[in-house]
Each structure stands twice: as structure tokens, then as C-alpha cells.
Amino acid sequence: MIIDTGWNREECITALNAGLRELDVDLTKTDLFITHLHADHIGLAQKLATDTSKVYFNKPEADWIVSGGQWHDFIEYARVSGFPESELQTILQSNPGTTYRSQGLFDFTILEEHDTLSAGEYRFECVATPGHTFGHMCLYEPTKKMFVSGDHILKDITPTIQLWSDWRNPLKEYQASLDKVYEFDIELVLPGHRSIFKNCKERIQELKHHHQKRSEEILFILEEGSRDAFEVASRMSWDIDCDSWDLFPVFQKWFATGEAIAHLRFLEEQGRVRREIRDKNIVYSLI
Ligand SMILES: [Zn+2]
């Protein structure tokens, strides 16, 4: 079984095929498990799947992909969140999430929470972990105390939690998913990016603390007055090698604004921030 695939681009399939050859993997005897819909995880699924492969995936995101996604709704939400029009055009034309996605629809095999998957000597349990994306799913191997975390828990970087609509609270979902995984007996985490790690509970506490600090920072920013999400993002502190917000690459501004919206939504539901429409734009202020 292959878990997640990488982008649908030439460099990725070349590297992956070299690795699969080294491991002597027969793709006709191989299934795929996809943790979530991001193109760096599902991008090569169609190229790797053979007639005899199953592509395991969660239902909410399978439905979303089959329905064609709502990318244009995200763009519209970014527009009313203060994202500059010229930069939105760049996002529309060269977004890697759409450029390197898997082409065509799939015949997915849907997995639900608590379903089990056997592969060789491993017997995985499915753990729904919405937050990073709305249908994100991890795998837990209770005998080996191993946890395949996708982009739910990463060691060296913080998983991005973004929102581009009014109808979810992904940061709340994410924290609930962190609390859920905290109860598992885990010795080794296999994440979707960067290094594998131990000390899962410690990392979960760090991530929760990080989001608490970010919320406090946003409340501090709103003390200056009402702001749209783009303005809030431009005033937040970011760990990036740029001298000013204006010099951020446009996709970093996109991630930053989406993360600011997720925090603002979280604070709104806590009753600490008010969301209003002013001149067709969404503006936030302290309550
Ligand atoms: Zn992701």
C-alpha cells in the first residue's frame, strides 16, 4: 500500500518510480491510501493506480472532487476578504493546487472512521481528523503504536489551517482532532512532510499552544480597529525570509490570509470577534 503520492508532475513521478523500483513494488498488487485532497498528496494517484488497485479515500473529499470542487468560491471569498485583485489573478492562473492535481475522476473506495485496512503485517485503523482539510483521515497501527498523520501533525512545520467560506470552523475542528489523537498510544509518527518523529503528545501540546498565541496576536491587532482578513494577515508575524509583507510571494499571502480567516472565524464563534459586511467586504472587530 502506498500512502499519499506527491504532486502530479514529472519530477515527482520520476523520483517515486525510482523508489518503488528499489523496493521492488508491483503496482498491480498495490493499493493507495490518500490522507486528504491536497494535490501534493493525491496528485499522482491516477498515474499509480492500476486496474487492480483500490484508491482508499474519505467520503467528504471524494464527493468534493467528484463535484468539481469550489475553487472559484474560494477566490470570491478572498476578494471580499480584502485580497488584492491583481494578486488574485496570479492565484487563479498558477495555483499549484490545481496545476498539479490528479487529472480525471477516480473510482474511490470510501473509508469511514474505525474502518480497518490490512497491508502485509500491518493492520491500520482509520481515524477521521478534520481540520487541515474537512475530510482529513489518518491511520493508526495499534500493535506497532504507529500513526500515519498526513498533514494533521507535522514536526518541523505547523500544518496550515485555512478557511475560505463562512460555513465551517476548521480551527475548532482541528483542535478537536488534536485532542482526539492525544488519547492514542503512539510511539512513532509518520507525517506527510519532513521527518518522522516520536513524542506525539508533546508535539500536539506545542501545536495547541501555537494556535492560542496566534489567536492572542490577532486580538491584539484588532485593538487598533476594524480590519479585513488580508489586513490582519499583513500585520501578523510570519516565519518567512522576507523583509516586509509586500515582498511575500503571492501564494504565501494566500496561505497567510486563509489562516487569518480560520482564526477570525474561531474567535467569532468564541464571541470575541464580530464579523460584518461593509462596502461588500468582510470586516472584523473586537466585541
Ligand atoms: Zn495538505
pLDDT tens-digit profile of 257-287? 999 999 999 999 999 999 999 999 999 999 9
Sign of CA dihedral 17, 21, 26, 32: negative
Res 196: pLDDT: 97
Say what the pTM is.
Answer: 0.94
Task: Specify the residue for cell string 474511490.
Answer: 108
pLDDT band at 204 (very low <50, low <70, confident <90, very high): very high
Taking the centre of ligand 1 as the mean of its atom positions, its distance from the CA of residue 151, in whole angstroms, is: 5
Taking the centre of ligand 1 as the mean of its atom positions, its distance from the CA of residue 36, in whole angstroms, is: 7
Taking the centre of ligand 1 as the mean of its atom positions, its distance from the CA of residue 180, in whole angstroms, is: 19
Which of these ranges, 71-75, 116-120, 121-125, 138-142, has the smallest mean pLDDT? 71-75
Amino acid at 16: L
Taking the centre of ligand 1 as the mean of its atom positions, its distance from the CA of residue 226, in whole angstroms, is: 31
Taking the centre of ligand 1 as the mean of its atom positions, its distance from the CA of residue 40, in whole angstroms, is: 7
Number of Cβ atoms within 10 Å of the Cβ of 21: 9
Taking the centre of ligand 1 as the mean of its atom positions, its distance from the CA of residue 73, in whole angstroms, is: 19
Taking the centre of ligand 1 as the mean of its atom positions, its distance from the CA of residue 140, in whole angstroms, is: 18
Judging by DSSP bridges, how do beta strands 137-141 and 122-128 pair with one another? antiparallel
Taking the centre of ligand 1 as the mean of its atom positions, its distance from the CA of residue 65, in whole angstroms, is: 15
Q: What is the pLDDT of residues 82-133, one digit of tens each?
A: 999 999 988 888 776 666 677 766 789 999 999 999 999 999 999 999 999 9
Q: What is the pLDDT of residues 45-58, one digit of tens each?
A: 999 999 999 999 99
Taking the centre of ligand 1 as the mean of its atom positions, its distance from the CA of residue 198, in whole angstroms, is: 21
Taking the centre of ligand 1 as the mean of its atom positions, its distance from the CA of residue 22, in whole angstroms, is: 27
